[in-house]
Amino acid sequence: MKLGNYALGQWIEGTGKSADLIHAVTGEKIGEASSGGLDFAAMADYARTVGGPAMRRLTFHQRAAMLKAMGQYLMERKEQFYAVSAATGATRSDSWVDIEGGIGTLFAYSSRGRREFPNETFHVEGPVEALSKGGSFVGRHICVPLEGVAMHINAFNFPVWGMLEKLAPALLAGVPCIVKPATATSYLTEVVFRAMVDANIFPAGAIQLICGSAGDLLSHVTEQDVVAFTGSAATGQMLKAGDAMMRHSVRFNMEADSLNCTILGPDAVPGTEEFDLFIKEVVREMTTKAGQKCTAIRRTIVPAAMQEDVVKALSARLAKTVIGDPAVEGVRMGPLATHGQVRDVGAAAERIRASSELVFGGGDFEVIGADREKGSFFGPRLMVCSNPFQSDEPHDIEAFGPVNTVMAYDSLEEAVALARRGRGSLCGSLITHDPKIARDVILGVAPYHGRLLVLDRASAKESTGHGSPLPNLVHGGPGRAGGGEEMGGARGVLHYMQRAAVQGSPSMLTAITREWSKGAEAYTDTVHPFRKTFDELDIGDTLTTGTRTITLDDIVKFAELSGDKFYAHMNDEDAQSNGVFTGRVAHGYFIVSAAAGLFVDPALGPVLANYGMENLRFTKPVYPGDTIHVRLTVKQKTAKMPREGEIPQGVVEWDVEVINQDAEPVAVYSILTLVRRSTE
């Protein structure tokens, strides 16, 4: 079997020299990969000129719908992917993280695209910034898709998740992608990619695939492109320093392997739930994916008084780990991905031993259902470094497999210092049930980590564990970890967009952003805005209501009805004594209710429901005898993609300003309503 490359809208078999693809369990050749003959410059141009325009014509909500549809399509075919994943040496649970975890990022970003971004082709970020005294000159930030291509260079350990966690935010942003998986496990990536092409959900040019060498791909980058890399720091630095990369100041996001640590709190003594959680977590991180995770625990930092207990407990649990063919019942750890990895991990482990003692593993180990020599098997190794402050090896050398080094501390300050010696990590964890310990340690190590887990009995049942990146949290870290960030919810999408500050009059910015800015032109007519359908409403449509005078009787009745009898509403002397008010004041929520009574049209009409209020501020107290009115303005409109059987509708955000008799705002906020559409 020779893997295909998907370029310029078609499958192309590479020519020339090929790389052999080897079954990690049996050692047998299962295929070949080659990118020979591909025109990388043409692929990049095809993405920019065909895929890019097609993606940018779609709104965030349309792109989100595509991600959801693709997630559903892939999930229906997941068993095909599990069958292929077995050749990588992954157990079923290993493959679950890779396959279903990867597909899950499509669903996660689909949901965020609908909830956190507008049904627009661009994103308006942050509030209007006043730039002049009179209010006629203002500024806003907008985020628009970059007009280049995202080039994703992925690692071998997660052939599916590594691809999809990068694709999801890039495609949601409207940027086409070229995927370059690590050759060793590219056969699994290719199977999933073929399914995506067959689904015919993404526009032509949105996704392309290179199986084999990336050749001179990065020599064709431009200032509008983005490169995202996962792998070793050395390779990442080499790619980042490329001539074209430097010349065009190309955005480069690196997620590099790091020497992640876990810390056992001094309160988590043997016999506590936390001690047991700690032992379980360390062993899980050593053996899941055979330790081939960029987030795996490499350094285990424990109180000196508990080091012996920790080593005994870890050794006992590791001794129960069944190694072999993941297809065999009871096997909990499979092989490494390749024979080359076996050599590299073994060599790195030996270098760490220069300053550490091997306390478990390193000799013969039993392999179930497979030939240890033919497959890429490597047994867990646990070491102890007795002088972690004088030794560099455990903090500098990463064995990318089931290898871990235990080191002791005498104080929390020492624990923090040891964690920081990793010089930048993707993630770290602390196992403690003491909030003060947690605060001191987390604030001490946070500058050196991208993500931190505090694990104890309260979170253990639902915790995803030390090594699980999640689409709603950032994945990346400073220093050795590459200095980049992936995912992190909306942050990951904005990485593929250009933020531009736009300055002008409120009316001009309203026209550009399609979001009304205070001071922009407003439009009134004889038809109440609640009588208009979503499509009939225009940004800037404004209603100025009649007035209402607030009485003492109103305040008393609202207090009885609501039960809110705060002293400032009930007693003149008490209200005056607090130094804020000059007498009894109306409840803020009564003012909001009274405002609704002024602007709501009560009859059955296009408005279906009021389902939210945002950014409420009470800017001035309202006293008995004050008179208020309301200015209601259409601020933003977002058409909803109709679900089956649902009335066509959209969300209208209204700017609400409640004003007193002195023309002073007393309350400002936005309300959200569902409004019937007159057309699909």
CATH of the domain at 218: 3.40.605.10
294 is catalytic: yes
Same domain, 179 and 283: no
Whole-number pLDDT of residue 680: 53
Same domain, 276 and 288: yes
Same domain, 47 and 193: yes
In degrees and rounded to multiples of 5, residue 660 shows phi and psi of -90, -175
Same domain, 246 and 299: no
Calpha distance 484→488 (Å, rounded): 11
CATH of the domain at 644: 3.10.129.10
Domain assignment of residue 516, yes or no = no
Q: Tell me how far CA of residue 601 lies from CA of 546, 631, 654, in angstroms.
A: 13, 14, 14
Q: What is the DSSP string of 322-356?
A: -BB-TTSTT--B---S-HHHHHHHHHHHHHHTTSS
Angle between helices 307-319 and 273-287 (to 10 degrees): 50
Euclidean distance between the first and the last CA atom of the chain, given in angstroms as a whole number: 48
Calpha distance 552→624 (Å, rounded): 5
Domain assignment of residue 340, yes or no = yes
Q: Given 3-state DSSP classes, what are the helix, strand and coil percentages for the chain, each rounded to the nearest 5?
A: 35, 25, 40
Same domain, 162 and 310: no
Whole-number pLDDT of residue 679: 65
Residue 461 contacts residue 444 (beta carbons within 8 Å): no
CATH of the domain at 306: 3.40.309.10
32 is catalytic: no
Same domain, 147 and 291: no
Same domain, 222 and 275: no
Same domain, 242 and 184: yes
Domain assignment of residue 514, yes or no = no
Same domain, 88 and 186: yes
Residue with tokens 């590099």: 256
Catalytic residue among 177, 294, 385, 427: 294
Whole-number pLDDT of residue 643: 75
Specify which residues 656 forms β-bridges with.
Answer: 632, 669
Provide the 8-state DSSP code for 648.
P
The dihedral sign for the CA sequence 310, 312, 317, 321 = positive
Same domain, 252 and 340: no
Same domain, 319 and 388: yes
Calpha distance 428→451 (Å, rounded): 7
Amino acid letter, 341: Q
User: How many CA atoms, within 13 angstroms, populate the side-chain half-sphere of residue 442?
Assistant: 15
The stretches in the chain having pLDDT less than 50 are none
Same domain, 90 and 158: yes
Separation of CA 657 from chain center = 36
Question: H or E element: which one contains 553?
Answer: helix 552-562
What letters, b where the CB count within 10 A reaches 16 and e where it falls short, cover 78-87? beebbebbbb
Q: pTM of the full predicted structure?
A: 0.89
Token readout for 51 is: 């895929």
Domain assignment of residue 599, yes or no = yes
Domain assignment of residue 142, yes or no = yes
Domain assignment of residue 485, yes or no = no
Range of the domain at 621: 522-676
Q: How many domains in the chain?
A: 3
How many C-beta neighbours within 10 Å does residue 434 have? 15
User: What is the chain's Cα-based Rg?
Assistant: 30
Domain assignment of residue 535, yes or no = yes
Amino acid letter, 115: R
Catalytic residue among 255, 274, 281, 515: 255
The dihedral sign for the CA sequence 216, 217, 221, 226 = negative
Calpha distance 360→104 (Å, rounded): 36
Residue 674 contacts residue 609 (beta carbons within 8 Å): yes
